[in-house]
A and B are shown apart, each in its own frame.
Chain A
Amino acid sequence: MTDRREVLQCLGVGAGTLFTLSGGVFSAFDMAQAQTQDVGTPLFLQISDTHIGFNKEANPDVIGTLNTTIDAVNALPRRPAFALHTGDVTHLSKAGEFDTASQLLSRLKVSELHVVPGERDVTDGPGAEFFARFGKPSSNKGYYSFDANGVHFVALVNVMNFKPNGLGALGEDQMAWLRDDLSSRSASQPLVVFAHMPLWTIYEPWGWGTAEGEEIASLLRRFGSVTVLNGHIHQIVQKVEGNILFHTARSTAYPQPSAGSAPGPGPLLVPRAELPGMLGVTMAVMDSKRAVSLADTSLAQG
């Protein structure tokens, strides 16, 4: 117990890496610099895979690490206006887990929290507990869009309609809605698309991808600035394809093995001192040229 308390005491949001996509070229800045230099306006925070209810050895205190995350975000000198939660709010979809998670997340000093479900949040099938709490913006469909700071945000659900090969899927209704939602948008409007499971195939044997990924990418290619975000795999993986940046966020609960390095995508047990460096959030900033950049920040001291 003492060990854990000591570790939690020295947690703090420290050095992260800020990746800037400008004209298709990726460059990295140090997060500490990002806080002092004028690299842009904080646009939103991405938090993911809080897994409230998880209590195994990989992190017996997921409430503690989420609280540490929230405290660190609230202490930032320049906070983003709103936050996206890319799913797996809970570990087992239990009502009590959702209650605890909602209570904890309500401490985030942001004006809005947009949440898409992870497969852990809808294990009952229809996702009754999830939609009772987070279904309002989408009229309980889960997928919806909104605009903020001139950016068009699209929330997608790819965890309720699995394909036989284990990949996530949007399904026909949602794909039709997405085509329609994007068709009227100007190609010059920056886009942020977010879902729980990766929207591009990272590792098919573990189902780390979305069946309609290729078609979704083809709908996004005409836009000048696209950021595609997800969680699910509890580690940072990213790729750039033309003007599209694909990026996965860390969890605030526990890390997972890299693709194919374990029998399955379960929790990765690491030495306790290494855990904070493997947990964290992603911050998005917007520069004067309206390019969206991402900064991954871990819970390890910088």
Chain B
Amino acid sequence: MNSRLFAFVLLTISATGLHPVIADEISVTIKNFDYSPMELDIKPGTTVVWKNLDGEPHTIASTDGMFRSPALDQNDSYSFTFSRPGVFKYICSIHPKMKATITVR
């Protein structure tokens, strides 16, 4: 292996695994039967972390089936990393009135 390629591989590992970058993680809060923010615009590779603050359980279920959390009780979290661009709508499968959108581009 030539040394330049080796250096590139090392760099990639450090960027994705060994030193997670804070900017690549975005939080969505669930409170009073709403996702906040309801619309997110993120870059590919971003991890979204949902946290339920309600005493009532909620879920995060994408309408196209790409991601689906288990029922999150109060203070439970769920995360999903968006690797490809697209517009991803999701609902709470317990309270389907709760809707939000994530745009990856």
Contacts and interface: CB of A to CB of B under 8 A. Distances in A.
Interface of A: 56-57, 91-93, 119-120, 122-125, 162-167, 205-207, 263-267
A124 B70 contact: yes
Contact of B70 (A56, A93, A267): A93
Contacts, number: 61
A207 B95 contact: yes
B61 A266 contact: no
Nearest to A53: B73
Interface stretch (B6-14, B19-27, B36-44, B50-58): B50-58
Contact of B93 (A123, A165, A206, A266): A123
A264 B58 CA distance: 12
B32 A123 contact: no
Given A166-B96, A263-B33, A264-B32, A120 B55 contact: no
Nearest to B57: A92
Q: Which of B32, B54, B65, B94: most chain A CB closer than 10 A?
A: B94
Contact of B56 (A123, A165, A166, A264): A264
A108 to B, nearest CB: 26
A19 to B, nearest CB: 30
B97 A92 contact: no
A266 B56 contact: yes
Given A91-B57, A92-B57, A265 B70 contact: no
Contacts of B32: 263-264
Interface of B: 32-33, 54-57, 59, 61, 65, 68, 70-71, 73-74, 91, 93-97, 99
**Would you call the interface of chain A mostly helix, strand, loop, or mixed?**
loop
A123 B70 contact: yes
B95 A265 contact: yes
5 contacts: A93-B71, A123-B57, A123-B71, A124-B68, A264-B54
B82 to A, nearest CB: 19
A92 B73 contact: yes
B31 to A, nearest CB: 9
A220 B57 CA distance: 35
B7 to A, nearest CB: 43
B97 A205 contact: yes
A125 B68 contact: yes
B94 A166 contact: no
A147 B100 CA distance: 43
Nearest to B76: A92
Given A125-B61, A264-B32, A267-B55, A92 B93 contact: no
Contacts of A207: 95-97
Given A123-B71, A207-B97, A265-B95, A56 B55 contact: yes
Contacts of A123: 57, 59, 70-71, 93-94
